[in-house]
Chain A
């Protein structure tokens, strides 16, 4: 356990091997990492608890950290040596719990660099539990930390006391163990200043975000061209074709592969083994890998709190605060983790707005890949138009929701940690966990979606519903009647729905309208399930009505803007 940004996860990934799993805390959707390690032949389980400043939680993640403590046999308290005074508050509270404890005095090298001298022997004497100097990034002190676990002790001299009592105690301890020498402005300080001052920070933020997305596209595309597509075309295609020949025409062929007698088109055949496998693995996964890799770098280097500071003003007007940008970013990968991350916001109002806006205006990587595929041939300006509409919508809907949703929206209050060189192992582990999570949690839903679509299609239900809606398509959205099929499918799989627009021969502007409506009007089934858990039934119904109404009105407004008023 420890404060946020003290290097807990780096210590954790040093202690545990590759066997790390991301788990959900029972009853909630807070995820934490769990890993195993061996000490002298016995296997122990190590849990990386969410960061907290005290044992009086201020949000759900901190609550979980406090609850986890109850079941712990030994506590490893990670302290930030560069900021001992503040970190000691939690340390004292933990000691009051009388659970065997050891302390890892992390970032010891950085503290020395800053001219902070800490007498760890003296600290150990005062706190009565082992104190080990560590530099988790390089692995220094980790061995000593492991062997100290045997000596984890309880200090019975420390009894429960008040806030004031603890601060007095901390003052006495600090006086005895810490000496600080003066130091001058370092390069890192200047970088901090530049990225947080509005005049330089905003242009830098734009450059960083633009560069990050450019890299995501580059890495994703490279993986597809040189790895995924060759695999699917040269190895997988002959396999599926052979299976098709074996099956012959019939229900099974249609469901597994697609329309009989037509060549297999990966994006459009809609078979479980063709489109069902190709879209999630060869079109979406490469971008997911690239996206979460870069996001992890941005997170671990300490840039995100600066970005949150810069955008706080806008987000506050939308009823959230700067932290809302985190949900937005995560949501661009997959809406599900985006929706999960809304729990770090303090109030119900903030969480509701953040989740609703996410579902309305933030397309996930699966959709993005499809939008690029469908609109790309018509020119970048149409893709830009879709993004512009979504951005405006995000802002307008935020302003409206902020006005009408009851509840308070507290101000931003967060730590801006110093820039740190991210640890490659920690980043790879984090990225890997997120990818694994995506494969395990999101891909089954994608698969289920396509299965249901196939069944509904085969039984004629899909056609019946879309025929019902077909007549209003032109009037409302300026789209041909056939497009209704895609909109109905969009309830189950938005990305496939976008793909289904392809054979309709729509004009570029019609595509813009259809794609925009599809993005807005409903989250995918997986996101829907998470929102149900996070918001509850009542708020989810409210949220869904807002999504639906917004999609219909935006579609209609765009129709008027692009093609004029409908004629009756």
Chain B
């Protein structure tokens, strides 16, 4: 486990980060993969809906909306 890794849900807005690992089952990982969320990719949060609402992220040129719970399973490392 990388020391600097944080869950995607804790990443501040408009900060670039690198996906370093995705927790969860194979099905879950595959579901993310086909939408472009893969280890090594650069990711950025565009907006967070209030009250633990979903996040909208930018990855691989596309914008995706995903739930907070899913974002907690994606570990990222901030790119300085």
Contacts and interface: CB of A to CB of B under 8 A. Distances in A.
Interface stretch (A65-73, A413-421, A498-506): A413-421
Interface in A191-206: 192-193, 196-198, 201
Contacts, number: 100
A312 B70 CA distance: 14
Given A54-B34, A83-B61, A86-B35, A196 B56 contact: yes
A198 B31 CA distance: 26
A538 interface: no
Interface residues of B, number: 28
Contacts of A167: 33, 38
A56 interface: yes
B12 interface: no
B60 A85 contact: yes
A163 B27 CA distance: 11
Interface residues of A, number: 37
A198 B30 contact: no
Interface string B11-36: 00000000000000000001101111
- Give chain B's interface secondary structure class: mixed
B51 A309 contact: no
B65 A163 contact: no
B60 A86 contact: yes
A413 B63 contact: no
- Give chain A's interface secondary structure class: helix
A322 B63 CA distance: 16
A306 to B, nearest CB: 8
Interface string B53-80: 1101000111111111110000000000
A416 B60 contact: no
B64 A312 contact: no
B4 interface: no
Interface in A254-307: 305
A169 to B, nearest CB: 14
A414 B30 contact: no
A309 B49 contact: yes
A486 B33 CA distance: 55
A83 B36 CA distance: 9
Residue in B51, B52, B54 whose Cβ sees the most chain A Cβ within 10 Å: B54
A199 to B, nearest CB: 9
14 contacts: A85-B36, A85-B61, A167-B38, A196-B56, A309-B47, A313-B50, A313-B52, A316-B67, A411-B68, A413-B67, A414-B64, A415-B62, A416-B56, A416-B64
Given A413-B65, A415-B62, 10 more contacts: A53-B34, A53-B35, A114-B61, A193-B47, A198-B50, A198-B53, A313-B53, A412-B66, A415-B64, A417-B63
Interface of B: 30-31, 33-36, 38, 46-54, 56, 60-70
